[in-house]
Every structure is written in C-alpha cells, then in structure tokens.
Structure 1
Amino acid sequence: MAFKAIYWFLLTHFLLQISRAYARVPAIIVFGDSSVDAGNNNQVSTILKSDFPPYGRDFYGGQPTGRFSNGRIPPDFISEAFGIKPLIPAFLDPFYNIKDFATGVCFASAGTGYDNATSDVLSVIPLWKELEYYKEYQQDLRIYLGNDEANEILGEALYLMSIGTNDFLENYYLLSNRSSEYSTEEYQNFLAKIAGNFITELFQLGARKISLGGLPPMGCLPLERTRNLLLGSDCVETYNDAARSFNNKLEELVDRLNGELVGIQLVLANPYYILSDIIQNPESFGFEEAATACCGTGLFEMGYMCTKINPFTCSDANQYVFWDAFHPTERTNGIVADHVFKTCLAQFL
C-alpha cells in the first residue's frame, strides 16, 4: 500500500511537470453561479439542485453530477481546450480530493450572486464563502505539493468567474428590497464594486490570470419569455439592456484594474453577443428551437421541476439552445466556450 501511494504521488508530480512544460495554464479555478457550478450545491441545504435525471443524461455515463445542463458546462470545455482535463470537479464533492483539484477545481454555487442578499434567496453559497473555500484549497495544495510548486500553479492557473445573472433576475427584478434601495444603474455600480473587490483580493492571494464573465442576454431566457407571456413571449428587452449596460461597466472595471494591479492579466469574457446570435439565428448554429427549452414544456421548468417523469421533455437536446428554462444545453455551452477560448482567452495559450 505504501509503494502504491508513493507511485501515485510521483506520477501526479510527473504529470504536473509535463503540464507546466507544455501549457501556460496548469489549472482552471472557477467561481460563480449555476452557469459554472459543477455540483457544489449537492452538498448544500437548498432546493436549487440538479443531481438527478434527466440532468446529466448526455454527460459521461449519463450521470447527473449537479451541473445544470444535460452534459458538460463551459469550464469543462475550456479546461479541455487548454489540454488539462475534460472535467472540472466541484470542491465540495466527496468523490474528489486535492490530487484531482491540483489541475482544476470549482467553487461555484447555483443561485448565488455578487450581492449577499442574492445567495440568501435560495440559501446557497455566497461569493465570499467561495473565496474562503479557495483559501482552504490553497492551504491543501501547499501541503500536497509544497509551497514552491503550489504557488507556481496558483500563479499560472486561469481563474474563471461567471456570476451576476441571479442578482438581477432572482433578486433585483423579482424582489422589492434592492429595487427600492437602488436604481438599476446604482445597483450595477454596487455589483461592479463587489466584483472589483473580489478580483483585487484574488490578486492579493496570488491569482494573475483572471477571466471575468459578463452577463448573457438574460431577457431571452425561456423563463423570462414565459414571464413576458402577456406581451407575446418575446425577449424582455429591459433585462437585455441592463445586461449590456452592466457588461460595459465590467469592461471599464477590467481596464481600470489592469492599470492598477501590476502583473494582473484580467480579461472580460462577454457571452452576450455570441449567445444573442445563437438565440436570434438558431438555424445558423444547427439548432431548431431557441425560445423554449428541452426539459418539460420548456417554458418554466428547472431544478426539481425538471424531472425524468415529465412526459414533455425532448428526446434530442442537441436541437435546443436551452436545456431547462434558465440554462443552456451542453451543445450551446460548447459553442460559447469555444468562442471565449478563441477570443479573450487566446492570450493565455
């Protein structure tokens, strides 16, 4: 048993050395919400879960992992594109350990936001707690690999952030507290400040390569179209306007922090326009349906409402832009990840 442990330890070190020799990015580290949650919510007392069929039906082995899709999510594709591994594991998943996390780990929690009040809505992991988990990970990695090797990985890793949609759709526009306290622009500024503070703290902890995710055309999510039923189920342009405006503020934030934090390589990964193009011209990307989702009626189902006994769920998710009423299919995730990889992330190759 001792020989086997030593063998695997040496093999892991060898593979990490090979990874660093041939790639500028040795690990992918993920923060955010359900767009990038690999299953952390499985271990949280919340109703916002997806660790049951038909979620994951097109994943490896048809396993529902807690990813809010029929298969893989963007960080998985991005990790594979960098030649690291095809899946980024969730930090709270007991199946994995620091050996797995050394080349990539996900701290994201479905339903969370920049605003702590957003994570309170569905009792999920707040962003500040994701950062605390990251600090634990740093300690574990240094114990596992030693300070020098761990610090090299932490400094060369690519940090992905994808968050903010819930702050608007499940908090600001749905509940009255924040909307009575802030105008839309004031709330955007409030969130952007939190984003800036988070990135600055990540930088102080050793992160250098960071991708800040923008908002999607959130007014075109099937759930929002359903809420807009009285107006013909069209995209809610007020929400899309807010997404574009917030993305502009994030772009300004990226420019400012790149000037202030010496050595940082911060980019904005803006999914808005590629997703908008897919939604407005689905046939051009090989899709048949963009207004409704695959799961159930495609109008409102997500989480526990998206079950394997729902008779309306589509047979081929590849024909749909959205898997459930809030989240893209694996195929859409792959297209968006490929676009991001070839554009804003290309500088890290």
Structure 2
Amino acid sequence: MAFHSIALIFIFQFQQILGIDAKISSIIVFGDSSVDSGNNNFIPTISRSDFVPYGRDFEGGRPTGRFSNGRIATDFISEAFGLKPTVPAYLDPAYTIEDFVSGVSFASAGTGFDSATSTVLSVIPLWQELEYYKEYKGRLEDYLGNKKAKKILTEALYIISMGTNDFLENYYVLPIRYFEFSPNDYQKFLVDIARSFITDIYHLGARKISLTGLPPMGCLPLQRTLQGGNCEAMYNHVAMEFNKKLKALVETLNDELSGIQLVFSNPYHVFSKIIQDPRSFGFQTAVTACCGTGTFEMGYQCNEFTPFTCTDANQYVFWDSFHPTEKTNFILADYAVKTSLAIFK
C-alpha cells in the first residue's frame, strides 16, 4: 500500500477514534531521539538520521532527521489535538517563528536528563534545550506581542521524553556514573534533574506538561541481540523502577506548583504488549528491526547501502535496532492521547 494511503487511513482512524476538539494551542517538545524531528541535522554529531532509508515513508519520501521510517509520536499527538501533522525542529532554518507558533521541538537524539549523557555523542544537553526555549519565548513575544504569546505558551502542551540514553548510552556503558551511583541512586539523581527542569519551565509559563516514562528498554532489538534473542530483564526492571519514581515526582509537583497540570505518560506496558504479541497489533515481529539485519543497525549503520532492509516497515515494531516504526509511533501516540493526555481534551 502506498505511503499516502496508509497515512490517510492512520489520520482518519486517529481523528475518528479520538474525536478531539483542540484545546491545546501548541505542542512544545523536549527530549531525545524519540521526539527529535531534526535538530541533530544542524549540529556536529554522528547521532543523525538525515539520510535514506530514514524517512522513506514520510511525506515526499524524504529523510527529516527523525529516527523512523516516517513520523514520530509527537507528530501524531500534534495532529490529534487539531494542530499541524508534524512538529518542526527548532534549529531547522527552513522554518520561521511563524511555523513555531503551533509547535516546536527542541529535542536532540542521544541526549538525556544527565548532561554527561549528551557529551557521549556530542549532542544538545537538556540545559541547552531550555536555553533554546527561552530564546524561542522571546522570539514569540516579539512576533505576537507579550499578551498573545503568553496565552499560547500557557495553553501549550509541553512533552518531555528522555531517559533511555542515560542508562543504555551512559550509565551502563561509561564507567564514571556507574561507579559514582548505584542504579537506584542514579535514578534519584535523574529524577532531581527532571524536577528542576519541570520547575524551570513552569516558572517560564508552562502549565500543561506531560512527562514520559521509559519503554521496556531491555527489549530493544540491539539489547536482544546482545542477549541471544531474549530481553535484558535487568534493564526492564530499571525502567519500571525509574517510571515509579517519575510518577511519584508528578504527584509531588502537582501538589507543590499552583495551577500546573502535570501528567505521567507511561509507554512501558502498552509497548510491552506490542513486543510480546506483535501479531495482535498487526506486526510480524518485534525481535528484529526493519533496517538491515534488524539486530544492531541504527544511525549511520542504517543507510541506503544496508542490505536486507525490509520492504514493508508496517510489519515491524522497530525501524532500526533502537527506534520504533511509524506504525508503532502511531499506536503509542494513540494510547497516550486516550489515557494520560485525555485531561487536555
């Protein structure tokens, strides 16, 4: 089936199922490759995906810097709330402040809550994402005037999605944090950073905020390859424990910060169901990814010369060894909008 037909079916089903009337002015995104719509294209890093076959099922069949064959979850969430079908990357010079009125992503693939994580692949640290937001806020005020800009920023939905890289790219790979913190203490360290970040954007005007938990990161194809095809139970346990701490943080900040609507979006359980029983969701497999052998390829290892890349990404839960396909992103977005984000309808 052609991309445009699939996309139209997705859009129609999404809008029919959700029936959402927009009460959100904009989608403002912070995070990692799960929500980076192309910022890494414009920084010197190897953590990029601005080449084929990435984006082959995106409109026009072009790579955008999204780590997927097509759109990512925040794109679908934006469309579900009656906004644009894609959320543009802040650093992309093709867009202007006019384009960013209804949505913008400051996310950077490879980053995390911990600034040490961003240094691994020389990507944008979370504190810099915040600085870009402050810059954006000033530009929006200049463009619309303070009153209208304040209204948009207050009624925007802020999505925060990161954390996987802190563990899989940083803590368990590099020795510094591993010897500095126990797994439990490192989780607390990251939660404290999340607390500070949410408090910062709250004081800058954010009121509607979604904090996204970790997926079953031990079941990513790369981790399964390292485990002989099985999920890495320890990593999944860490993800579940970290999610509990994030949920507790959300409850605490809702009590502490007047007027905030902070929700915890937990993809772990629905993602686990997809991985455990992919056929019930219309997939063939979750063990291997579409690109290449499906066991280790991602980023520059997933390129136009990679042999064996699948012909139909809709049959695969994962696009590369670390990231979901567009179809999986759609399912995860659908779940989030019908559950944790339903408060913002």
TM-score by length of structure 2 reads 0.94
- Correspondence for 1:46: 45
Letter in 1 for 2:325: T
Q: Output the amino acid matched with 2:35.
A: V
Give the counterpart of 2:268 among 261, 269, 272: 272
Letter in 2 for 1:193: D
Given the alignment of the two structures, is residue 321 of structure 1 paired with residue 320 of structure 2, yes or no? no
Instruction: Give the counterpart letter for 1:340 in structure 2.
Output: A
Aligned partners of 2:70, 2:180: CA distance in 1, in Å?
Answer: 39
The aligned amino acid for 1:40 is N
* Equivalent in 275, 280, 285 of residue 281 of structure 2: 285
Corresponding position of 1:122: 121
Amino acid at match of 1:160: I
Match of 1:254 in 2: 250
Q: How does 1:3-22 map to 2 (within 5 A)?
A: none
State the SS of the aligned residue for 1:51.
Answer: coil
Tell me the alpha carbon deviations over residues 305-346 of structure 1, each in whole angstroms, 9 at most, x when there is no partner.
001111210000000000000000000000000000000001
Q: CA deviation at 1:23?
A: 2.6
Q: Structure 1, residues 255-307: CA drift from partner, whole Å, max 9, x if none?
A: 00000000000000100001000000101100001000000000000000001
1:68-109 per-position Cα deviation (integer Å, ceiling 9, x unaligned):
000000110000000011000000001001000000000000
Match of 1:15 in 2: none
Runs of 4+ in 1 over 4 A off after TM superposition: none
Mapping for residues 102-117 of structure 1, pairs under 5 Å:
102-117=101-116
Q: Are positions 1:90 and 2:112 aligned together? A: no
The residue aligned with 1:223 is 222
Question: How many equivalent pairs are there?
Answer: 325
Deviation at 1:245, TM superposition (A): 0.2
Q: After the TM superposition, which residues 11-90 of structure 1 pair with which residues of structure 2 at under 5 Å, given as runs?
A: 23-90=22-89
Take 1:261 and 1:227, find their aligned partners in 2: how far apart are those partners? 43
Which aligned pairs between 1:155-194 and structure 2 lie closer than 5 A?
155-194=154-193
Offset at residue 175 of structure 1 (A):
1.2
Cα distance in 2 for partners of 1:58, 1:194 equals 36
Q: Which one-letter code corresponds to 1:44 in the other structure?
A: I
- 1:13 counterpart residue number: none
Match status 1:337 vs 2:336: no
State the partner residue of 2:344.
348
User: What are structure 2's unaligned runs of at least 5 residues?
Assistant: 1-20
Q: Does 1:153 align with 2:152?
A: yes
CA distance in 2, matches of 1:180, 1:226: 26
Partner of 2:60: helix, strand, or coil?
Answer: helix
Name the CA distance, whole Å, in 2 between partners of 1:215 and 1:29. 19
Residues 195-245 of structure 1: CA deviation (Å, up to 9, x unaligned): 00000001000000000000000000001111223xxx2000000000000
Deviations 1:165-201 (A, max 9, x none): 0000000111111010100000000000000000000
Task: Note the C-alpha offset of 1:51.
Answer: 0.2
Structure with max Cα Rg: 1
The amino acid of 1:335's aligned partner reads I
TM-score (norm 1): 0.93
Secondary structure class of the residue paired with 1:100: coil
Provide the C-alpha distance between the structure 2 equivalents of 1:290 and 1:214, rounded to a whole number of angstroms: 20
Amino acid at match of 2:139: D
State the match for 1:214 in structure 2.
213
Q: Which amino acid aligns with 2:312?
A: D
| Whole-angstrom CA distance in 2 between matches of 1:176 and 1:333 | 32
Q: What value does the CA root-mean-square deviation take over the aligned residues?
A: 0.6
SS in 1 for 2:292: coil
